Amino acid sequence: ESNSEEAQQVLQLYQSLPRFSQQKKDLIQAWKADKTCKWISTWNKSLETEKKETVNERAGFGTRFQVAAMLEMTADSEEFLAFLLLKSTWPS
């Protein structure tokens, strides 16, 4: 039924996506394949997971000072700065 809650969710999502985005194209394809829109809850979960992964990628490992504290090093020490630059400080 076109007035179902799921259909309303699909419409809202469709309207929120950028005009030529791949997600919008994928959404249209999913709707064409199954117009009952029962798949929208799964779709929303995957979007949330994607958003969380993007946020985690941006967050990285923290600031230089947080990483140094985790490694029990001083953020301004030569050893730590060498570690950040992936240079070996071990004697050869």
Long-range contacts of 71-79 (CB under 8 A, 24+ apart): none
Contact 56, 46 (CB under 8 A): no
pTM of the predicted structure, to 2 decimals: 0.55
Q: Note the pLDDT of residue 8.
A: 94
pLDDT along the chain (92 residues), means of 10: 82 92 92 93 86 67 77 85 67 55
